[in-house]
Structure 1
Amino acid sequence: MVRRAGRGNGVVMTERSSTLDTVTDPDGDTDATRPAGWLRVASALAHRWPTWLALAFAAINLADLGDGLEYTLLLVLLAAVYLIVTVLDRPRATWPVLYALVAAVVCLRLLDVDPMPVLVVVAVAVVAVGLIKGRLRRPGLYALQSPAAMGIIALGLAALSVPADIGRYLVAAGLLGHAVWDAIHWHANKIVKRSFAEWCGVLDLVLGLGILILVG
């Protein structure tokens, strides 16, 4: 802002910069903008919590990686999550469905019951219900759910039916393929919660690459 003031016969020009309204620190940052910048960074980091959670989970698992075949169960479980949420047609149910399936797996193992056949039966039953009700016959991603899930499950079962040296590559391929599937859902923001698609995609990608690098 510029103000003119007369003094005697002359005119004195005085300037007052609008930047003086904010206090500038020695580093050149202003008090008004510096907190906002940090808040934006913190908000961006917090917004990516599914990624951080997936990276932490993957790091813990890769630190004690076996032959890679242990993740066949994960493939079947994640396929079941997608199927169940699709048939329910409730994206908000994504995380609760995941928690319920994980709890079921833990309980079955405590009872010395192999959870793999149980999850496969559940997935097949959900596909049947979804086709009868029509949820899995709707156009777009809905119609692709059952063939994609059955393909992932078949790949996981095939990995258990061949030598471990071959099976681990099938598991890695399944995880990387499912990471692409997650990315498609994240971009579309349909079927499952976007936070789940992000978490699942990062987890699948890191585990798949980890198997190829550490075990392959």
Structure 2
Amino acid sequence: MNLLLLFPSDLSGNNIARISDHRLQHILSVHRANVGDSIRVGMVNGLIGSGSIEKLDEQSAEIHFKLDTPPPPKKPLRIILALPRPKMLKRILQTITTMGVEELYLINSYRVEKSFWQTPILSELGLLEQLTLGLEQARDTQLPKIELRKRFKPFVEDELPSLIEHSYPLVAHPGVATPIPHALNKPCTLAVGPEGGFIPYEIAKLEEIGFHCGHMGANILRVETAIPALIASLYSW
């Protein structure tokens, strides 16, 4: 945890936060902090700053903080991702948050198993847990926007055309002739299929509304590997 992420519910006074959950255990067991120590803190969807531990025991920590620094800017990137299996979803949620992705749409496709949609990770609390881990790692406070779409065709035909306006619509798809672009200087809407890729019908529907297909070379990557590689390629550091 490189940043103690605070929520409005943690506030117990003017610039005072009180925590008693897993963050407390991290402070005690990993940071091995003591009263008087300083830690980096940030308010969810707000500023970053520093905090001083004023009280600390096994039950709670009381932190006086000052926030004065804006969080890192988000990348102008929207990812349209066929819902992966739950274990992979956890890692991807943390990765896209750590790398500053602005929006993530989790969608259905032919190769997505119906049972994937039943995972508790997709609950409000389940998503927040993974996104929080990503923000803490990245020293960021801005939560990405997460949307769920369980029907492929209505989403692509009725909603996606307006979403891709003013952005570069790209499908990462192996086997095509054109490589993905590098170091984009514009917003991008990036579609990534499930393990095995989008089926031809789905690729055709995306191309109908203006998506371009691009590859990342001859090697076939797992989705959890492809996502950070794509982000790094599209928006070089």
Bin of the TM-score, shorter chain as denominator length: under 0.3
Instruction: Report which structure shows greater RCO (CA 8 Å, sep ≥6).
Output: 1
Q: TM-score, normalised by structure 2?
A: 0.22
Q: TM-score, normalised by structure 1?
A: 0.24
**Structure of larger gyration radius:** 1
Please identify which structure carries the higher helix content: 1
